Amino acid sequence: MKSKLRHLILVLGDQLNLDASALTGFDNQQDAVWMAEVDEESTYVVSAKQRTAVFLSAMRHFAIKLRNMKYEVHYSLIDADNNTGNLAGELEKTILLTRPKKLIITEPGDWRVLQSLRSVAQKHLLELEIRQDTYFFSTLNDFTLHTKARKQLRLEFFYRELRLKTGILMDGKNPIGTKWNFDADNRSSFGKQGPGILPLPKRFAPDQTTQEVILLIEDRFAHHPGTLDSFGWPVTREQALDSLHDFIAQRLPSFGLYQDAMWEGEVWLYHSHLASSLNLKLLSPQEVVAEAVNSFNNRLAPLEAVEGFIRQILGWREYVRGIYWMHMPQYVELNSNNVHLPLPHFYWTGQTNMACLRDAIQQTLAHGYAHHIQRLMVTGLYALLLGVSPKEVHQWYLGVYVDAVEWVELPNTLCMSQFADGGLMASKPYIASGKYIDRMSNHCKGCQFNPAEATGHNACPFTTLYWDYLNRHSDALAKNPRMLMQLKNLHRLSEDKKQLIAMQAHQHRSEITA
Ligand SMILES: Cc1cc2nc3c(=O)[nH]c(=O)nc-3n(C[C@H](O)[C@H](O)[C@H](O)COP(=O)(O)OP(=O)(O)OC[C@H]3O[C@@H](n4cnc5c(N)ncnc54)[C@H](O)[C@@H]3O)c2cc1C
Ligand code: SF4
């Protein structure tokens, strides 16, 4: 160990890239890296076992890589006797031990973590240099500039701006294929015949490091949700690249068409499963998008699929990051519908007789994964229609998914899914009745409820709660032109029917929260 350091480079669990800006200019002779495993990151919201395993295993693999490259790494193990349990405490210990002249970090993704590291730096009168995160297409400043001239923020405009700026899928100033957006072509279900033979998911057998992490989690976080039996997520850059290439070859061509489709028992479908690798920085969004564009250029994937995929990464991923940093810290408290029910207990067990929710939650607990429509239009939709406190919904999403980090999870949950910002991010609440789930999946076929019924013994709770939501919020929603069609259908219902729906919704809420 050096007697006195020049720079202590702080590397967080979601900053596992060798070309991170914080590591630029690293000098083995004068600098060292700090990394820390701490209980707080798995307990400040209860982190499911799969999620904790992805983070700890990926961090340990990254530290091994750095040490193999002769980097001095000060690494706190979560089960070390003197581990203080939080990032601030572990950083303080390393500062006192190494006496650095300066701390350097790449922009953290989490507001809470940034505040805590800043206060440690201040306490020790140390400069904390925060370097730009180059694993995004846009900077936070780009987003601020984008918002300046606008009354209303919408993904579409930011996405087009980034397409123009980067030239991705562009023919000069025009989008390739003459359309910016192929969403309308990307909403197929699998039909009655189902998805047929699906490509096998790319999974990785746990190596020794991962096995140690799994044992540790089974012991230390035994009571945390989920299981580790199926663990197979990429935890190194090499594995993440393998997953990327597999997705591009096997799934991308059908990604667009079946982006929104669901099928009982089918977890992986045509999605990429790359979000955890992207969020941990095992992959850069630039290389992921470049591979998708190559596939289109080589006529291996249709434009609809490639644009649909790129929109998620160049569009949504960049957009939600900007929204998060623009609105934190008060953002997490938003609750425009003023709803306060607790999250139903079955979100932690999957034990419910609503088939769609059961399938989405059980696979979430088994694998730490559900695709976007399951998150938005099954688990998220039900919580929104029921009237669950958005903060509780947020804590669940942040805890259960392997790709969950706050900067991307919070805007998706609070705003896209729960409409807790009253329309700041999405132009309307994503609400639908059980008929939408019936159209996009086969869940309803095996369910005791009927998606076409809003009242009565067999009524689908989604359908009951949907009409009830529209009815309860009709005055506020009437101001939104995009809701007019749905409200028109509501006004076709008789007053008696609306009253029956309100009573059934009330009864359902009482039963669920009893
Ligand atoms: C309530 C809710 C919570 C969510 N929480 C997270 C989260 O914690 N972390 C996370 O990365 N994504 C989150 N998402 C967005 C999206 O659902 C996941 O990125 C996606 O399901 C991950 O699976 P995949 O890698 O197979 O994605 P694919 O369907 O293959 O999509 C490709 C990539 O695009 C990006 N992407 C897709 N949709 C979004 C989106 N809406 N916002 C930002 N990036 C997107 C992801 O990086 C993803 O890997 C959430 C969505 C909802 C509705
Ligand atoms: S009937 Fe309703 S609860 Fe049952 S699977 Fe369909 S949407 Fe879900």
Q: What is the 3-state secondary structure (H, E, C) of 499-510?
A: HHHHHHHHHHHH
Owner of token pair 């009565």: 456
Q: How far apart are CA 63 and CA 78, in angstroms?
A: 14
**Ligand 1 pocket: which of 155, 246, 372 to mutate (most atoms <8 Å of CB)?**
372
How many whole angstroms from 264 Cα to the centroid of ligand 2? Answer: 12
261-309 pLDDT, tens digit per residue, is 999 999 999 999 999 999 999 999 999 999 999 999 999 999 999 999 9
Q: Whose CA is nearest to atom 7 of ligand 2?
A: 434
Q: What separation in Å is there between the alpha carbon of 91 and the centre of ligand 2? A: 49
Joined together, the tokens standing for residue 213 give 């992490």
Q: Which of 460, 464, 465, 467 to mutate to test the pocket of ligand 2 (most atoms within 8 A of CB)?
A: 460
Q: Which residues line ligand 1 (CB under 6 A)?
A: 271-275, 278-279, 309, 312-313, 316-317, 320, 371-372, 375-376, 380, 397, 401, 403-404, 408-409, 412-413, 416-417
Ligand 1 atom closest to residue 375's alpha carbon, by position in its atom list? 53
Taking the model in full, what pTM does it have? 0.97
pLDDT of residue 2: 67
Segments of the chain with pLDDT less than 50: none
Residues 6+ away with beta carbon under 8 Å from 259: 186, 187, 270, 271, 308, 372, 373
Q: Which atom of ligand 2 approaches the CA of 378 most closely?
A: 8
Measured between alpha carbons, how far is 211 from 53 in angstroms, rounded to an integer? 9
Distance from Cα 372 to the centre of ligand 1, integer Å? 6
Closest CA to ligand 1's atom 51:
412
Candidate from 259, 283, 318, 412 with most ligand 1 atoms within 8 A of CB, to mutate: 412
Residue given tokens 């006004």 in the structure block: 491
Rounded Cα–Cα distance for residues 451 and 435 (Å) = 5
Residues 6+ apart with CB under 8 A from 229: 366
CB 274 within 8 A of CB 288: yes
Does 454 sit in the ligand 2 pocket, CB within 6 Å?
no
- Closest residue by Cα to atom 47, ligand 1, is 275
Residue 451 Cα: closest atom of ligand 2: 1
Round to whole Å and give the CA distance between 448 and 315: 39
Tokens 């991170």, located at residue: 20
- Evaluated on CA atoms 144, 290, 130, 108, the torsion sign reads positive
Please give the distance, rounded to the nearest whole angstrom, from the Cα atom of residue 186 to the centre of ligand 1. Answer: 16
For residue 449, the CA-to-ligand 2 centroid distance in Å is 6
51 lines ligand 2 (CB under 6 A): no
Cα distance between residue 103 and residue 276, in whole Å: 27
The residue nearest atom 8 of ligand 2, judged by CA position, is 356
Distance CA 468, CA 447 (A): 21
pLDDT at 3: 67
Which atom number of ligand 1 is nearest to the Cα of residue 274?
25
